[in-house]
Amino acid sequence: MANDREVLREIWEGKIPVCFQLDSEEVYELQAPDPFYLMVPRLSYFPLCTDKVRKHFLRHVQQDIQDKHEIEMWLEFNGTPLKWHLPIGVLMDLYHNDIQLPWNIVVHFNKFPEDVLIRCHNKEVVEAHFLSCIKEADVLKHRGQVVSSMQKKDHNQLWLGLLNDKFDQFWAVNRKLMEGTCDEAFKYIPFRCYTNEDKYIQRLIKPVNEEGQRKVLRHLLNEVFPDMDQVVVRTHGIVLPLDTPLQWLSEHLSFPDNFLHLVLVSS
Amino acid sequence: MAEKEVDERSLVRTATTTTSDEVPQNLETLSSDTNPSHIEAPLPPVKEKKIEVLLKATGDAPIMMKKKWVVSPDNTIGWISEFIKKCIKLGAEERLFLYINQTFAPAPDQTVKNLYDCYGTDGKLIIHYCKTQAWG
């Protein structure tokens, strides 16, 4: 069970200052609209916290684009489209070396990059993706038994907790997903290890060894990257100590989708 | 501990003699599995060790004549989805949902390699597809 509530709180409250600007090619008027500044939660997804950004810039683009229903806004950083289906904090960790705060992000309404981004017409698409990640994580942790024993309203509560930034609402349900089995450990640790912005590795890694001793982050990295020594990873903006126990890490530093998102730090 | 993971993986990979397949959805699925055409890889050649995937229709989704395919480990779920759409002649507007373990829908950028390593059974990865959300 996740006991270190202060850690959970601290992680939940992580925010990033972002400066959104409309792509200069999409500016229709003589003057470019003002940039839009916003503090975005690391644990959230861009489509969940950019309604105001969309509203602010949509007035300034060509009329025929404004008239299209469900016109999709997409974001770009340094020439790369930002994947909305990754939590914002993961994107931040992926582009860590290139980002200066506030994080400058370019807003687009035109030329949606079909080959790079998944379509996201509304927040239900994000909800389906988010809940699917939680289900997959529970398959790894508890053979899917906890999530399948939950009711629709519990799933709803997880989603609304994230959507409305309600820590207590989210954790009232999420704590059940973070309980270990009888020996107090998960079957496998749900994690994704990003080697670059387009590629991540996912493997079956247990939190304890055959003798029942708890494993630490170093063990996980050795198993995932057997040919590399000195692997270092970052998550939530923190370079993790290699002797952090895996079970604790999974319970406390997982994103709301119940996965650990570890970004390889290039040395 | 590292050895144990390796043991489990090799067990999975060598268990080719087992006859236990997942419970077929229907008779058509079963009969066409005996089709020997799956021995040949129809997809572009890639250097890495390829992965066998078994594509199973669920609900009202049309069944594929050939269900076993050998694909590159770097292929993504999005790629598999487009491939199935082409095979069952789905319109561009129609949606297709893919599921692993009959439980969750993997993200389109997830790779076959990651899914096989975590959820592969009997040397292959089973993917269910349907036209409406099944295990959503």
Per-residue pLDDT of chain A (267 residues; tens, 9 = 90+): 446 899 999 999 999 999 999 999 998 888 889 999 999 999 999 999 999 999 999 988 887 777 776 789 999 999 999 999 999 999 999 999 999 999 999 999 999 998 899 999 899 999 999 999 999 999 999 999 999 999 999 999 999 999 999 999 999 999 999 998 766 799 999 999 999 888 999 999 999 999 989 999 999 999 999 998 889 999 999 999 999 999 999 999 999 999 999 999 975
Q: What is the pLDDT of residues B78-124, one digit of tens each?
A: 999 999 999 999 887 788 999 999 999 999 999 999 999 999 999 99
Contact state of A136 with B136 under an 8 Å Cβ cutoff:
no
Residue A211 lies in a domain: no
B33 pLDDT more than 70:
no
pLDDT computed for residue A3 by the predictor: 63
Chain B hits for A200, CB-CB cut-off 8 Å, are 114
Residue A218 lies in a domain: no
More confident residue, B75 or B11: B75
Cβ atoms < 10 Å from Cβ of A27: 16
Chain B hits for A133, CB-CB cut-off 8 Å, are 104, 107
A21: domain CATH number is 3.10.20.620
Chain B residues contacting A via beta carbons under 8 Å: 1-2, 4-5, 8, 78, 100-101, 103-111, 114-115, 117-119, 133, 136
C-alpha A79/C-alpha A107 separation (Å) is 11
Residue A142 lies in a domain: no
- In sequence order, which residues have a C-beta less than 8 Å from that of residue A150 and are 6 or more positions away? A173, A176
Contact state of A133 with B104 under an 8 Å Cβ cutoff:
yes
Q: Can you give the residue range of the structural domain that contains A53? A: 8-113
Domain B2-130 CATH assignment equals 3.30.160.340:
no
Contact state of B118 with A200 under an 8 Å Cβ cutoff:
no
Task: Kindly identify which residue of chain B lies nearest to residue A221, measuring between CA atoms.
Answer: B2
Beta bridge partners of A37: A19
Show the tokens assigned to B129: 């597809």
Residue A41 lies in a domain: yes
B53 pLDDT more than 60:
yes
Instruction: Place B28 in a pLDDT band, splitting at 50, 70 and 90.
Output: very low
pLDDT computed for residue A56 by the predictor: 94
Rg for chain A, CA atoms, rounded: 20
Q: Any alpha helices (H) in chain B, and if so which ranges?
A: 2-14, 27-32, 77-87, 112-119
Instruction: Place B11 in a pLDDT band, splitting at 50, 70 and 90.
Output: very low
Query: Domain-by-domain residue ranges, chain B?
Result: 2-130
Q: Looking at the 3D structure of chain A, how many domains does it have?
A: 1
pLDDT computed for residue B128 by the predictor: 96
C-alpha B18/C-alpha A145 separation (Å) is 27
C-alpha B128/C-alpha B115 separation (Å) is 13
B9 pLDDT more than 50:
no
pLDDT computed for residue A85 by the predictor: 97
C-alpha A175/C-alpha A87 separation (Å) is 20
B6 pLDDT more than 80:
no
B22 pLDDT more than 60:
no
Sign for the CA dihedral angle at A244, A247, A250, A251 comes to negative
Chain B hits for A139, CB-CB cut-off 8 Å, are 101, 103-104, 119
* Preceding omega of A102 cis (within 30 degrees of 0): yes
Contact state of A215 with B1 under an 8 Å Cβ cutoff:
yes
ipTM, 2 decimals? 0.92
What are the b/e assignments for A57-66, b being 16+ CB within 10 Å? bbebbeeeee
